[in-house]
Amino acid sequence: MHFLLSNCKYWLEEFHFDGFRFDGITSMLYYSHGLGEAFMNYGDYFNGHQDDNAICYLTLANKLIHEIKPHAITIAEDVSGMPGLAAKFEDGGYGFDYRLAMNVPDYWIKTIKEKKDEDWHPSSIFWEMTNRRADEKTISYAESHDQALVGDKTIIFRLIDADMYWHFSKDNRNGMVDRGIALHKMIRLVTASTINGGYLNFMGNEFGHPEWIDFPREGNGWSYKYARRQWHLVDDQKLCYHYLGDFDREMLATLKTVKNIQKQPVVEIWHNDGDQVLAYSRGDLVFVFNFSPTQSFPDYGFLVPKGEYEVVLNTDAKEFGGNGLADDSVIHKTNFDPLYEKDGKEWLKIYIPARSAVVLRKKK
């Protein structure tokens, strides 16, 4: 125990680390290493299989780290969902600042691999993005290191595959590339805009890096070929990567306009799995998604606080590689409905093209 704790202190003091991600702690938390456990209800977490020594160490490690460096960040990677991991020690928790929302990247890669575009249901997407305990902060991410490093394909590579190599120049795009660019932006936007802690990118995910990282090893003949990121791709104006990178920059800037957006409630406004439309608000921003691959909707309406709304971000904008089908300069005024007058809400009706998302802000 003292040896492990001294390691935490060593890296903080000698190398000025600002925090730690504790990897794979599920295997520590349970005598079974989490194998063969269902974790379907709270009884599964506290059935006598938990390792009290490991729990004691993790709690002491968090207390030690934060005593040495109060602003250090600790993140727990746990697939079981152990309650209290990211709750304060004073509240009976283990003291981690965040837990990784491991369900989110798993959900995205499973959806891309196993479901047709027509079967992407907004109700399922919203549930996965917001399914977490209120007293625990999480790190949400669309793509995990399992995709960014060798072992699986990145999201963009799952969406586009080999066409990345032949059709990612602006003058040679095809339908597969257009689909991939559109969904990559939408996936990142719905993931980042629903966070309750932090948002994480991995090694070029922000601009759709075409390949994984694979360090020299026996399995690849000790090759260095894939042991790098091609950062120059995002600066090449002849290729489509900069569309994704430019969108990432504007997406983060938009989210930062809401002070402490991670602490603002995510309020669902509307979802319709048949239309594949989802809408929710956060602060003064309204997020609207149309995941349908074929159906565009003119004057699609839902109830929002009365007022005027301006478009602040559109995944379909031409500067982000979209089709530019909507006029984002239009100010959208809500329509009166006597049924909802006492609630202060009116109908907001907008045009949402297929496979696109738009962010609106209520004007002061």
**Which tokens go with 274?**
């048949």
Longest dimension (CA), the chain: 71
pLDDT digits 0-9 by tens, 39-91: 888 888 888 888 999 999 999 999 999 999 999 999 999 999 999 999 999 99
Burial class of residue 221 in the structure, from the number of CB atoms within 10 Å of its CB (0-12 exposed, 13-18 middle, 19+ buried) = exposed
Per CATH, the homologous superfamily of domain 265-362 is Golgi alpha-mannosidase II (2.60.40.1180)
Angle between helices 52-68 and 2-14 (to 10 degrees): 30
pLDDT computed for residue 215 by the predictor: 86
310 a catalytic residue: no
Q: Please report, for the chain, how many H helices and E strands are present, in that order.
A: 11, 13
Q: Find the DSSP H helices in the chain.
A: 2-14, 26-29, 42-45, 52-68, 103-114, 122-130, 145-148, 155-160, 163-166, 175-192, 241-255
**Is 77 among the residues known to form the active site?**
yes
Can you tell me the distance from the alpha carbon of 25 to that of 66, in angstroms, rounded to the nearest whole number? 19
Provide the pLDDT confidence category of residue 4 given band limits of 50, 70 and 90. Answer: very high
| Mean of pLDDT over the chain | 94
Q: Please identify which of the residues 13, 23, 119, 319 carries the catalytic annotation.
A: 23
Which residue matches tokens 């492990």? Answer: 4
* Mean local confidence (pLDDT), 150-172: 90
What would the mean pLDDT of 336-362 be, rounded to a whole number?
95
Give the pLDDT of residue 151: 62
Q: What is the pTM of this model?
A: 0.94
Question: Domain extents for the chain?
Answer: 2-100, 106-114+141-261, 265-362
Structure tokens at 255: 């989210």
CA atoms within 13 A on the CB side of 64: 20
Amino acid identity for residue 202 in this structure: F
pLDDT digit string, tens, across residues 225-277: 888 889 999 999 999 999 999 999 999 999 999 999 999 999 999 999 999 99
Catalytic residue among 77, 143, 316, 346: 77
